[in-house]
Structures are given as structure tokens and as C-alpha cells.
Amino acid sequence: MLKLRASEPESVLLAGEEVPVRIRRSATAKRMILRICDATGDVKLTLPKRASLRAAHRFLAENTGWLAKTRAAMPQPEAVADGQNLMYRGRLFRLAFSGMPPRKITVDEMIITVGGPRDLAATRLLGWLKKEARHHLTASADRHAQTLGVSYSRIGIGDMKSRWGSCSSARTLKFNWRLIMAPEDVLDYVAAHEVAHLLEMNHSPRFWAHVLTCCPEFDRQRKWLKSASGQSLMKVRFG
């Protein structure tokens, strides 16, 4: 009789919702560990190196009650709206949806004003933030590429739920638009990080030496992204 191999669990049903499961194998883990990502609400499952996938499925099934209860107790992200605060380039601004022409976005010392119809303001603001992210990340990537003597094929701006950037084998750099909310030096570090991957597609000592060449204080910026301040940016939602 043919035995089918168990596949990696891709999702788990919690309170009627299919929630993605991200699997990580660890050579040092002695037991299975479940966590819930603060930013996305996705389930993270760490497996010992030799744990079977069937055991992983059983472990998830046995802990769905705990997962559902823990996830329900987590603070839910709120969609941006008129009068709320929003980080932009490391500073906190109040949003003002004017409801009046012209349909443009202006930034002063404390307020980001979005002109035009109120019902389209959030969409217009998101588009503007993505353009701003592309502009500043392209400038940083170009500068770091020149420093390291490399070139990339193109830059993409995406809506990744848990990653700040990536570098593909096709030499495409992709960045999370939320970086435009981070301090300028943090955005610059992520650009340097992905450009350095054009030389080393790993996180070896040689890779970090390239990052250090571009950003002498990268460790501080890296820690900021992992802090509560950095993770809070992942919770910003537009609708």
C-alpha cells in the first residue's frame, strides 16, 4: 500500500479563520515551539531538526485552543483615518483628510494633509507613501551600490507582512513600503543590507563586512527594526 508523505502545515483554522503557519527548523530546538507574530497574527512553528511533519500537524491540532485564545487577546491594528497619528521618516505626524481640493498631499511641521474626497484619502495617502519609499530607497540603494561596486536590475516596493526587504537571484531588490515610516538611518540600513546581498546571498561574516562598509552603525539600526517601535510599523493598515 502506498503511503503518502505528510506535507508541511500551511495554515491552521482559528475561530473560523484560516491563519498562515510559518515553519522553521532549528538544529538547537529540543521541542516544538509555537508563537504568534505580533505584526501579522501568523502562527510561527519551530521544529527540532528531526521532528516529523505528522508530529507537527498533531502538535498544531492539540494547541488550536491556546492559539485562538492568545491571538484573540492581541491588540488589533487599526486602519489609518483622519485625525490619527502616523510615523513618517521617523517622526510622528497627525493626519488631516481635508475633504477639499486640491488633491495633493502636503507635509508641515506636525501635520500631513491629504486633499480631495475623504473616502479616497487613505488610498491616496498609501500611494504617496509608496512613491516616497521608492524615491528614498532608490537613492540609498544607488549610493550603496556605488560604494560596493555592484549594480541591481530593478527596485520593487511591496507590502510584505513580516519582511523589510529581499534580494533575488535576478538582482532585483524589493523593499517594504513601511520603511518610509522608519527613521532615515534605518531605511538606509535596509537598503545597504539588500545591496550587500548582491555580493553575498547569505549572512556570512563577509556579508556583514559589506554592510559595515556602508553603515558603520548598522547594529543599532538593526536592533531598532526588531524593537517594539520597528514592529509597530508592521501593524499599520490602510483599510
CA angle 162, 92, 128 (to 5 degrees): 65
Give residue 182's pLDDT: 98
Mean pLDDT across the stretch 152-175?
A: 94
Is 125-233 in CATH node 3.30.2010.10? yes
Ranges of each domain in the chain: 11-73, 125-233
| pLDDT > 70 in the chain, percent | 95
Other beta carbons within 10 Å of 13: 13
User: In the numeric block, which cell numbers belong to residue 201?
Assistant: 546571498
On the question of a cis peptide bond just before residue 102, with omega within 30 degrees of 0, the verdict is yes
Kindly report, residue by residue over 12-28, the tens digit of the pLDDT.
888 888 888 888 899 89
Report, in angstroms and rounded to the nearest whole number, the Rg of the chain calculated over CA atoms: 21
Kindly report, residue by residue over 93-152, the tens digit of the pLDDT.
999 999 999 999 999 989 999 999 999 999 999 999 999 999 999 999 999 999 999 999
Q: Tell the residue number behind the cell numbers 549610493, with chain if given.
A: 143
Distance CA 42, CA 62 (A): 17
Q: Which has the higher per-residue pLDDT, 72 or 125?
A: 125
Residue 170, classed as helix, strand or coil, is coil
Mean pLDDT across the stretch 179-203?
A: 98
Give backbone dihedrals phi and psi of 194, rounded to 5 degrees, phi first: -70, -35
Q: What are all long-range contacts of 13-18, with beta carbons under 8 Å and residues at least 24 apart?
A: 13/64, 14/64, 14/67, 14/68, 14/71, 15/68, 15/71, 15/72
Task: Tell me, yes or no, if the pTM score tops 0.85.
Answer: no
Give residue 3's pLDDT: 44
